[in-house]
Every structure is written in C-alpha cells, then in structure tokens.
Chains A and B, each alone.
Chain A
Amino acid sequence: MTLEIVKPGLATSVQDLGRPGYFHLGIPEGGAMDRYALRAANLLVGNDEGAACLEAVFMGPEIRIGADCVLAVTGAEMPIKLDGETVPTWTSFAAKAGQVLSFGFLTEGARIYIAVSGGIATEPDLGSRSTYPIGMLGGIDGRPVQPGDVIPVGEDGAAKPCLSVPEDLRRRPGTPAELRVLPGLYWDRLTEASQTAFFDDTWTVASEADRMGYRFKGGRPMEFVEREQPFGAGSDPSNIVDGCYSYGSVQVPGGTEPIVLHRDAVSGGGYFTLGAVISADMDLIGQLQPNTPVHFRRTDMDQALAARAHRRAMLDKLRNALAG
C-alpha cells in the first residue's frame, strides 16, 4: 500500500507525535502542530493514536491512493474530495485503489491531518517519523513531500469507515483566539505598563508563522526595566545571557513582535522570554491563520494544570467515542 503525491500543497509533511528526549542536544521534539487533531485522525482509521499522518498547512495536497484503505481528515475545515465527490471532515471513509484525494479552499483553521489505515510507514529517525527539515530528519529524506513521492503505508488493521468525531469534540480556535500565558523567569524585565499592555492589546498572526514559531504583530512596543548589561548578554534590552527556551515560550526580540516557539523551535538563545503559552493551548496555535486576531490571557500554574487536566479528559472522551 502506498500514497502517491500528485500535488504537494504547501510544505505538506509526514508528522507523528514527535521525538522527545533530544531537546537538550538542540533537536526539537517536532511532531504535529495540532496533536489532538492528529490523534483524532488516527483513532478514526483504527491506528495507534501516535501513528504518522500527513500534515498539510493552508492548502491541501492531491494524492493518488495505492490500494483500498480507510482515510480520515481532521483539524482545519477544508472541503475533502475523493475523485471529485465531497466527503465529510472528522469522519472516516473508504477509498479504493487508484482514487484521487484532493481538497478545496481552506475555510477555517490552518492545518489538516490526513490519516490512512495502517499509518504512514516511512523510516523513523531517532524514534519518530516526524519531518524536521532543518535537521533532515524523518519524513521522506527529511523534507516536505514533493510531486511523485510514493509514501509507504503499513498493514491495515481493523479500520471502519463512517466513524465520526462528535461536534463537541472538534476543537477549534475562536475569533479572536485566546491564548493563556504563564509569566516566566524574565517577566520582570518588562515595565509594569508593558506587562499590562501585552495582555490588553489585540495582536494578529503575522505572515512569519510556521512550525518553528508563530509571530504576532500589532500590539504596543514593549519597554524594559533599566539594567546594567550583564556579561555575555547582547546590548539590546531584550537580550539575556543565553538561556533555555521551552516549547511555548514567548520571546520578544527588540520588544516589538512576540514569537511563540512551537514544535520545530530551537532549544535556547539570547532573547528574554516573557513567559510561555500553556500546553493546553498550543494545539490551537497550530490552527491559526495569518491575520487572525489574538488575545493573550494571563494565567497561573493552578489554572494551567487544570486546563491540562481538562484537555486530558477531552482526549479520554474522544477515545471512548471512537472505541470500536
């Protein structure tokens, strides 16, 4: 069984849940930008929920199906077509050998996850099939898919068509989107006025938003507390002596445009990070289109942990809803 890429779309890549354990060596965890949607797509086609899928952003690929199989597409809303016939999103459907899967215009969200029964079976690197182009790891030769690629698919399990994720378990960002932020180690670098402004202002997603990070623009420039430049730090007030960056941390180079570091981000550097977007809201970032308005909401550790527990409960509900 194979999937043949007729048209690649934009930066469509093989992704699973990533390769944790190497961040201290500068190799990011990687994996799906919307992990919940990837898990849902896999559960719909009877795969392990961490199996590899295709992640496509803003624009769908065109794919020729190599053998009879079951498919599901989750995440963003984008009309799905099988030989030109529309099929529903967040729902498993049968496809026959030789049929062509294609997509209409994106209507909501940013990234779709295409799961195939059996899962994509490219060679894993460091325990994961996730594509990390900068490190040339995972996927097909460590790069996004190209026309003519023939992607191997594993053995079909017990996939059933017509399984569907209930509407209340399809998670999407609202407009404006709300991202909860936990202030961090360098929060006190900002003046009180700038701390308040960060949460009060409406930001919009800039065009510089990808798997490494999402940049936001439109809020007021930030002011920093006066200091003596520390040994080893750059001269800009947003510079620090190099420190660690966590998944979700918010750096603001020059104090102008916040960047939330995402799955393929670097693990450290010399910009202060004002805090981090909580883990429960990171999937939502993966579904933000450019120019979407966003509010950052201040939260604390208790609320962040409660939100994480809530996400876990939602995932359990999803597993129960799709258990065959």
Chain B
Amino acid sequence: MADIQSPLPGTFYHQATPEEPPYKAKGDAVAEGDVIGLIEVMKTFIEVKAEAAGTFDAYVADNASAVTAGAVLATLVD
C-alpha cells in the first residue's frame, strides 16, 4: 500500500473536467508520474502525480473536497 498525498492545500478533483471520467479507477496500472487528480488553488489547477508505480486502489479524498497539504488523496497497492 502506498499513499498519494496532496502537495499543497486546495480543492481536490478526480477528473480533468466534469464531463470526463476520473483519472484512475480501481485496478488501473499507475506509472510513476501519472496524473491521478487536480488541486485547484490560486486560480490554477495543479496536477497531482504518482511518485511511485503501483495499482490504483481508491480515492480517499472526495471529489471537489477541500484538502490540506499532506492529506492522503488516493492509495495504491503494489
């Protein structure tokens, strides 16, 4: 199990746009550097990238929820 943490405070989104599916779903392969979500802060959207490879397990933070820096956003299984 590996946690993906938020690099900064803001609002977390699972999707690139409301019309698109979430970046990742349970069982998806995740490579290092894959985008798993967006953080909105200071009128900009910052991509959250996986820092290690693994298999996507689940989003921990809800879509469109407020998160703090270091908050767990999603988990990977090895």
Seen from chain A, the residues whose Cβ lies within 8 Å of a Cβ on chain B are 10-11, 57-59, 104-107, 110, 207-210, 289-291
Q: Are A59 and B10 in contact (CB under 8 A)?
A: no
Cα distance A58–B68 in the bound complex, in angstroms:
10
B70 contacts chain A at the CB level, 8 A cutoff: yes
Given the known interface contacts A105-B69, A207-B41, the answer about A58 and B11 at a Cβ–Cβ threshold of 8 Å is no
B42 near A289: Cβ-Cβ < 8 Å: no
Contact of B70 among A106, A208, A289 (CB under 8 A): A106
Partner of A210, one of B5, B8, B42: B42
Instruction: List chain A residues, Cβ under 8 A from B11.
Output: 207, 290
Partner of B8, one of A58, A208, A209: A58
Chain B hits for A106, CB < 8 A: 8-9, 68-70
A10 and B42 within 8 A (CB): yes
User: Once the chains bind, are A290 and B9 in contact (CB under 8 Å)?
Assistant: yes
Extra A-B contacts (13), CB below 8 Å, given A59-B7, A209-B42, A210-B42: A10-B46, A58-B8, A58-B69, A105-B6, A105-B70, A106-B68, A106-B70, A107-B69, A207-B10, A207-B41, A207-B42, A210-B43, A291-B66
Select from chain A the residue with minimum beta-carbon distance to B9: A289
B43 proximity list for chain A (CB < 8 A): 207-208, 210
Min CB–CB distance B28 → chain A (angstroms): 26
Complex contacts, B42 vs chain A, CB 8 Å: 10-11, 57, 207-210
In the bound complex, how far is the Cα of B66 from the Cα of A257, in angstroms? 18
Bound CA span A105–B42, Å? 18
Q: What are some 16 contacts across the A-B interface (CB < 8 A)?
A: A10-B8, A10-B42, A58-B8, A59-B8, A105-B5, A105-B6, A105-B69, A106-B9, A106-B69, A106-B70, A107-B69, A207-B10, A207-B11, A207-B40, A289-B9, A291-B66
Interface centre among A57, A58, A107, A209 (most CB of B within 10 A): A58
Listed in ascending order, the chain B residues whose CB lies under 8 Å from chain A are 5-11, 40-43, 46, 66, 68-70
CA distance A204 to B76 in the complex (A): 32
What is the CA–CA distance of A207 and B10 in the complex, to the nearest angstrom? Answer: 7
Chain A residues with CB below 8 A from B5, complex form:
105
* CB <8 Å contact, A290 and B70: no
3 nearest A-B pairs in the assembled complex, by CB-CB distance: A105-B70, A58-B8, A106-B69
Residues of B within 8 A of A104 (CB): 70
B-side contacts of A208, CB under 8 Å: 42-43
Using CB atoms, name the residue of chain A closest to B66.
A291
| Alpha-carbon separation in the docked complex, A59 to B7 (Å) | 7
- Specify which of A58, A105, A107 is in contact with B41 (CB 8 Å cutoff): A58
A290 near B69 with CB under 8 A, answer no
Distance of A290 Cα from B69 Cα, bound (Å)? 11
How far apart sit A210 and B10, CA to CA, in the bound complex (Å)? 12
In the bound assembly, the distance between CA atoms of A8 and B41 in angstroms comes to 16
Contacts of B46 in A (CB 8 A): 10
CA distance A68 to B77 in the complex (A): 43
Assembly CA distance A207 to B40 (angstroms): 7
